[in-house]
Chain A
Amino acid sequence: MLAFELGWAEWLVRTVAVLGVVLLPAGATVYLYLFKMVSFMQSRLGPMEAGPYGSMQLLAEVGKNLQKEDILPAKADRTIFNLAPYVVLSSTFLLALVVPFGPEAGFASLDTGSFSDRNFDGVGAFYAMAVSSISVIGILMAGWASASKYSLMGGVRAAGQLIAYELPLILAIVGVVIQAGSLSLQGIVYAQYEGEIFGFGAIGNPFIITQFVGFIIFMIAVQAELTQVPFDMPIAESELVSGYMTEYSGFRFLMFFIGEFATANIFAFLASVFFLGGWTVPPFIVDLLGITIDSNWFNLIGPAVMLTKMLLLTFIIYWVRFTYPRFREDQLQKFAWKVLIPISLVNIAITGFLKVAF
């Protein structure tokens, strides 16, 4: 693995960069979408006082939450109650580790694909799907350890929902993996860059075109995995106060909050890797710029491209979130098991058939 050949300084940079890639986009999307876009949709201004156009509101919110008393319910299981937000957040960080932002711009070498010699052996896609399921454990821990009926019901609802929607999430990726012929995220990016649609390769072959069904299923499943409206039964505020987060306050609530939004961003990053061509730009633009795809320039352009695609996809996530009402619990389960999973299985079968045929 590449990682052991890195110097300590590079390790340090990459470690700090993971913090940056989790926290900064989370702050950006909270301000842009949760504060401003929803205000626009509801014909109000949103936060305007802190800083120009309320842009410092986020820091004020963080300061407020840090000052709050860290309340522990009397009958709660102290250790597990305290650990739960860390488990949820660790899932987010583990997920961020494999996202590629350029030919060499990444954080860990789990996704060992090397762009310069076209060697894509990593298991990044599979790893991402695996670690994304860890957050369920944290949610269950939070729900149980709070010693509250609302929390427990929220936790159990969350577990049932996340188990149901993990399957379509993974099955939607299988189609992409079959078409790319690689489990490595870099390999998937490269397959989309090099791909051609009936001999026309100017825009590559972003899998959103050929795997459109997979893309739709993936985005729906992501919405459910993030417990965003219309899939927000675990934290349904009109029924369960705030679900598994009910008893949390102060810093630990802030961790759940950051975890929720940062995970939305990381899933949007992953969706842009799987379906929108990742950090690459269409081949004809690369030709226009007169550089090659594995040149060092793309370690600079790549993160910006990824950020753009991520903001586009998170826009869709929050648009849906603020548009639709909540499903009923049985509709939610029916939708996953009777609609999404069969469709994604058919998608896999067709993709496999076409892969062999062409």
Chain B
Amino acid sequence: MSALLFAQATSNSWDLPANIAFGIISVIAIGAALRMVTTDNVVHSALYLLVVLAAVAAVYILLGAEFVAATQVLVYIGAILVLLLFGVMLTKAKLGADEDLNYEQRWIGLGVSVLLLVVMTFSIWEEYGTKEEAKLVGYEPQRTQVVADSIFSTYIVPFEAVSVLLLAALIGAVVVARRD
């Protein structure tokens, strides 16, 4: 692996430190993801998810997408994961191994992940496999203005659709939570 990276670094404009960092982050992310589904404690599982999400944020920073990385930390770690841990600790959060956990859906889960892996690998390889610009080059940070412009021009329809969906979910949550 490292020999391959060094060879790449000498042969063309690949950026060595970024590739090494990417390798380390990927190993951490994959390891934590595996432990997340195999561990026998719900809170441990949530904390391994934290590691996975943090690693994804690190990959975004590596790609120069700082705004997206900060969003990842704010939304996924700061909000969703905290709510998840909060819920787990309010209801049931055993210390030590939890025998009640079931793994009945593991084969379906495995099937779905393999399918996702194949589809994504295929589509990414089709699009970028032979192109130069797909390689990790430079650390030119992506300007926030560019992100904002593309959200509010190119992707305005999906953005509005998601907003309406979230609003509907919010109202739905209020309706469900109301007692009267």
Q: What does the 1/0 interface line of A69-82 toward B look like (CB < 8 Å)?
A: 00000011100100
Q: Is the CB of B67 within 8 A of A137?
A: no
Main secondary structure of the interface of A (DSSP, over half): helix
A window 75-103: CB within 8 A of B: 75-77, 80
The 10 closest A-B pairs by CB, nearest first: A133-B78, A130-B74, A130-B73, A130-B70, A159-B86, A127-B70, A126-B70, A140-B85, A123-B66, A123-B67
B window 83-129: CB within 8 A of A: 83, 85-86, 89-90, 93, 95-96
A123: which of B85, B89, B93, B144 is its contact (CB, 8 Å)?
B144
CB distance from B92 to the nearest CB of A (A): 12
> Is there a chain A Cβ closer than 8 Å to B143's Cβ?
yes
Q: A123-B67, A159-B85, A170-B74 are in contact. List 11 more A-B contacts (CB 8 A).
A: A77-B95, A126-B74, A129-B74, A130-B78, A133-B73, A133-B78, A137-B77, A137-B82, A143-B89, A152-B89, A159-B86
Given contacts A110-B66, A133-B79, contact A80 B47 (CB under 8 A): yes
Q: Is the CB of B139 within 8 A of A4?
A: yes
CB distance from A72 to the nearest CB of B (A): 13
Q: Is the CB of B82 within 8 A of A77?
A: no
A326 to B64, CA, bound (A): 44
B139: which of A1, A159, A183 is its contact (CB, 8 Å)?
A1
> Is there a chain B Cβ closer than 8 Å to A121's Cβ?
yes
A311 to B50, CA, bound (A): 35
A123 to B82, CA, bound (A): 23
Q: Is the CB of A155 within 8 A of B89?
A: yes
> Is there a chain B Cβ closer than 8 Å to A166's Cβ?
yes
Main secondary structure of the interface of B (DSSP, over half): helix
A295 to B144, CA, bound (A): 28
A226 to B139, CA, bound (A): 35
20 A-B contacts (beta carbon < 8 Å) = A1-B64, A1-B141, A80-B47, A121-B144, A123-B66, A123-B67, A123-B144, A126-B70, A126-B71, A127-B66, A127-B70, A129-B74, A133-B82, A134-B73, A134-B78, A137-B47, A137-B81, A144-B85, A159-B82, A162-B82
Q: Is the CB of A112 within 8 A of B43?
A: no
CB distance from B82 to the nearest CB of A (A): 5
- A residues near B (Cβ < 8 Å) are 1, 4, 75-77, 80, 110, 112, 121-123, 126-127, 129-131, 133-134, 136-137, 140-141, 143-145, 147, 152, 155-156, 159-160, 162-163, 166, 170, 183
CB distance from A148 to the nearest CB of B (A): 11
